Chains A and B, each alone.
Chain A
């Protein structure tokens, strides 16, 4: 007999008495207490629902059937449901007690009978079914809600919904590879179930109805009465998408950005769900078959079904061959998520920012104390020890505070799985996505911002990089293309790499296109790096026929801009016929940069080290002028315009002769400039602060930072400096 651990039993007892407590307050005809009870029961199901303990499972199922019955009945308790649930809870309580004492569980009461409709699922719900079929021809129901009364509840509902939707999507993709995965099936079922419960409670009718249908569909699959076919997968995916639309809609309504809900059609989807249920039934038990209205099966779907299954076989083929690594990483991701959810709390990011600010100040205050001349004179050994102890603690504290903002890239990566699937199906290709390093952590803001560029590049990789199966086979590659999405640390940066084994970039065509558009002079010979860099040129992408260019042009300038906004950079490598690699270098966090502190006159400024290529004191021979004013510096054969920072900022008391100053070669995109500064003071990691609205017109500054002495240093916006006064500067090579 399966045993529960003491810990599990304690938890189960707690959950059960929780339900008991809720039941004390329920009243017939009201829904108060239903949602908590439902939640608690779901948790019990997770703990003991598959324990193999027959009586326990039976009792839980019994409770579930009544809760479901209430949900299906306007969400209001009635006398029989309260009675049954009470009896169920009492029995469960006794059962946990007995199990705790290693005694057999008591005999379940003989008078337990499930609610009438719950015998079997959607088909057997005569009223609901006819109503729904009848509804199909009717107008879609609008989304109505009471923002004033239920605002907070609805907000909570939408917050949770995002997680559920993500789980649904992930789950479905796993199911596609492995239709027999009961755990995943159950978790998707539960997600829809929670949706149904929440929306029913809040009276969000269309959401409720849709979730109900999808839940029924999954329930059939769960009971083994329905094969997970491609159509079923597609219905569930579109269902998830539609629910997502609803949630967005609800959020818009909540925030007051929209005053009236737009109607999102759900009937076609419901009909598809019905069709899938009708067609996919595997030798269903006669009860269900008999109860099923003929209307549902009669829809002319077989052809559609056949077609779509063909398509999906195409896409399933690679999926089935998905290497263990990918599948495993997914599974481990799922496992990893559960405990994480249980032990994490949501915190307002504003609070985090304040914490980080204060900790930063503490570090400065501490160093001010430690560096104070009088303190330095103290020769007491104990004091020195205490001081270094304090120093260690503040450092740890700072690290911890910084790490609070960090989240694994897993979530972002997993979204790409769906994208690859969709694009592959659409373009008739076989593609597998391999993900590496999903546990690498990044600043939350970066993971959000990096999403769009990644979507763009992955779409390009699949759409344009990977060849069609027949082409690949002809080239002697495997029919299935491979896109590897990986994250790893390198230096102080996070690197995200998208690598495909497709056709690679076509240098000649890129160059030809660039010449045609006047970006490059005819006959110019450029190193590979620069040729690939051309696809980032703004406007390059808008050229006609650019999709022929083995792609990569479309919107790549936007991709680069987004990445640079995150203070990252992107590089391309490509081998003709073997594929391309896009490498994105990102800072660990948006809150900190590695900065080079420089001085101009008696002012100090910070330049992000990522944009610094080199620095040196120029010799007279390196300098030249154009028309007597455009100053240039020759750096090993490359001509770079000189930007005198003191002129740009209108500062006096500075070096005016470049040969007595320092020149820093900075780059932004494909442009480089030489910044003339007085001196380099050092390198430091600094926490970036916004300068606020007052200085937003000051394009040359990216922000400010508190330096080690507690004073403010201004961070230069290298992009802006590089782009400044382009008319006075000759076109960069």
Chain B
């Protein structure tokens, strides 16, 4: 994943872009705000059987049924009980097949919206295969805190979700 894509996308916006940052445990992450539709409180999730564990299930978002992805589970972090700061970030995902469904991401807490300069973004370092860097735009250092910027389309792309044991 390269900063180049990011650069080219935001070149006409004075090379800065807005990111919503949120936390999972003590790690901080960012998602381009353009992808975000809304942020809602944690709500009852209907579990869907026979799905990977990070797909928590589905919720009713004003009449629409949308899938919920637990980012903690997805990134291999320990599970914690939901607090009142836990919330669901609803994002609109662009899929390879041209669909753009909405999905919810469970995060521990949302922080703020940041303007990040393209020049402040560094390419994701190679963690030597211990970390899947495929869905990262890069790393940004803001006020001495490193934020991992996520390419949301890649995280929840249909291909990465379909690793389901089907014995049907």
Contacts and interface: CB of A to CB of B under 8 A. Distances in A.
B12 interface: no
28 contacts: A361-B63, A603-B47, A648-B50, A649-B50, A689-B65, A691-B48, A692-B66, A692-B99, A692-B101, A693-B97, A693-B101, A694-B101, A695-B58, A697-B164, A698-B49, A699-B168, A700-B168, A701-B48, A704-B65, A706-B60, A706-B63, A711-B44, A711-B46, A711-B60, A712-B46, A712-B58, A712-B65, A714-B58
B162 to A, nearest CB: 5
Interface string A606-626: 000000000000000000000
B95 A693 contact: yes
Contacts of B65: 689-692, 704, 706, 712
Contact of B48 (A689, A706, A714): A714
Nearest to A717: B168
Contacts of B168: 699-700, 720, 724-725
A471 B48 CA distance: 60
B53 to A, nearest CB: 11
B103 interface: yes
Interface in A670-722: 689-695, 697-701, 704, 706, 710-714, 720
B166 A358 contact: no
A134 interface: no
A694 B103 contact: yes
A603 B58 CA distance: 13
Given A699-B168, A711-B60, A712-B58, A694 B161 contact: yes
Contacts, number: 87
Of the candidates A648, A697, A706, A724, the one having the most CB atoms from chain B within 10 angstroms of its own CB is A697
Given A648-B50, A695-B58, A714-B48, 15 more contacts: A690-B65, A691-B58, A692-B101, A693-B95, A693-B97, A693-B101, A694-B55, A697-B166, A698-B51, A698-B164, A700-B50, A706-B60, A711-B44, A712-B59, A724-B168
A373 B163 CA distance: 44
B62 interface: yes
Contact of A651 (B44, B49, B101): B49
Interface of B: 44, 46-51, 55, 57-60, 62-67, 95, 97, 99, 101, 103, 156, 158, 161-162, 164, 166-168
Contacts of A701: 48
> Which 7 residue pairs spanning A and B have beta carbons closest together?
A649-B49, A357-B63, A712-B46, A361-B63, A699-B168, A694-B67, A704-B65
Contacts of A724: 168
- Counting contact residues on chain A (CB < 8 A from B), the size range is 20 to 34
B113 to A, nearest CB: 27
A695 B167 contact: no
A650 interface: yes
Contacts of B59: 712
Contacts of A725: 167-168
A699 B65 CA distance: 17
Interface of A: 357-358, 360-361, 603-604, 648-651, 689-695, 697-701, 704, 706, 710-714, 720, 724-725
A361 B166 contact: no
Contacts of A360: 63
B67 A695 contact: yes
Nearest to A649: B49
A651 B99 CA distance: 32
Nearest to B46: A712
A698 B164 CA distance: 8
A648 B64 CA distance: 27
Interface centre among B44, B58, B67, B156 (most CB of A within 10 A): B58
Contact of B99 (A604, A648, A693, A712): A693
A712 B67 CA distance: 11
A692 to B, nearest CB: 5
Contacts of B162: 697
Contacts of A690: 65
A698 B166 CA distance: 8
Contacts of B164: 697-698
A604 B46 CA distance: 9
Contacts of A699: 166, 168
A677 to B, nearest CB: 13
A123 B81 CA distance: 87
B50 A650 contact: yes
A711 B65 CA distance: 10
B158 A694 contact: yes
B158 A693 contact: yes
B51 A695 contact: yes
Contacts of B95: 693
